[in-house]
Amino acid sequence: MRKLSLFWLMGLFLAFIMASCAKPPTQEMDAAKAAVEACKAEGADIYAKDEFKKLSDDLQAALDQVTAKKYKEAKQALIKIKADADALKATIPAKKEQAKNEALAAQQQARTALDEAKALLEKAPKGKGTKADIEAFTADLKGLEDSFPEIQAAIDKGDYFGAKDKAVAIKDKANSISEQIKQAIEKVKMKKK
């Protein structure tokens, strides 16, 4: 019986020693942090905001486990986070490409709207009574034309969402100038009648 108690005590002591000597999963921590950072560097915080936020939260939760010395659980979580980060990172180029394509499409639409407005102005009756109006509309369109390179500048900087916003604004404004030109042409026609 005494031998048995001694055996139990030794077992408990060994378990205590093992638990106290467990080391934090440093390697997994570094790997997970690096993977999340790499994911951010790829643009995940812009192109996959929600997924990246979840990933960052998961990383923080795993680090909290480490702080609470729950190394086993932390290690498992960190391994999963690294895998998730790698997987998310792999999806970013496609998302970027999609945003770029959308910006390019919006740029094209803006170009078309601008060209249509210019063509409409070309068709406007010239001469008596319209010269000043035509010059004013030409100046309006020149203002849009001057702003147009800003779309490409934003695309070149990788700011695809900003580029799209600019393109949409130019397209809307060009369409509104087209409407004004049409109204002016109508006015001249009415005057002639």
Partner 1 sequence: MELRARLILAPLILLTAIACREAPVLPEAKEAKELEQRLWEAGASIFIPEDYELFRSSLRIARIHEIQERGRFPLWRKMERSREEYRELLNRGEHLLLLIEEKKNNHRTSLISEVEKLEGFLERMRLISSVINESQTIRKRVTRAELLLVETRRLIEKDSFREAEKTIFSARQLGSSVRQIILDLFKRYLDEGYLSLWQKMAEETIAESRKRNSLAIVVDKLEKKLFVYSGGIRKAIYEVGLGRFSLADKIHAGDEATPEGKYKIIKKILNSKYYKALLLDYPNEDDRRRFAEMKKKGLIPPQVGIGGLIEIHGGGQDGLTYGCIALENEAMDELFRLVEVGTPVTIVGTFNRESPVLKLVREL
Sites of contact with partner 1 (CB under 8 A): 53, 57, 60-61, 64-65, 67-70, 127-133, 135-136, 138-144, 146-147, 162, 165-166, 168-170, 172-173, 177
Query: How far is Cα 143 from Cα 131, in angstroms, rounded to an integer?
Result: 18
Query: Among candidates 82, 89, 73, which has minimal Cα distance to 27?
Result: 82
- Least separation in angstroms between residue 64's CB and partner 1 is 5
Inter-residue contact 62 to 104 (CB < 8 Å): no
- Indicate the residue among 7 and 93 with the shorter CB distance to partner 1: 7
- Of 21 and 132, which has the nearer Cβ to partner 1? 132
Pair of tokens at residue 43 = 């643009």
> Cβ closer to partner 1: 142 or 182?
142
Q: How far is the CB of 65 from partner 1 (least distance, A)?
A: 6
Picking from 135, 36, 160, the residue whose alpha carbon sits closest to that of residue 87 is 36
Q: 85 or 184, CB closer to partner 1?
A: 184
Quote the CA–CA distance of 50 and 61 in Å, as a whole number.
16
Cβ at position 172, least distance to partner 1 in Å: 6
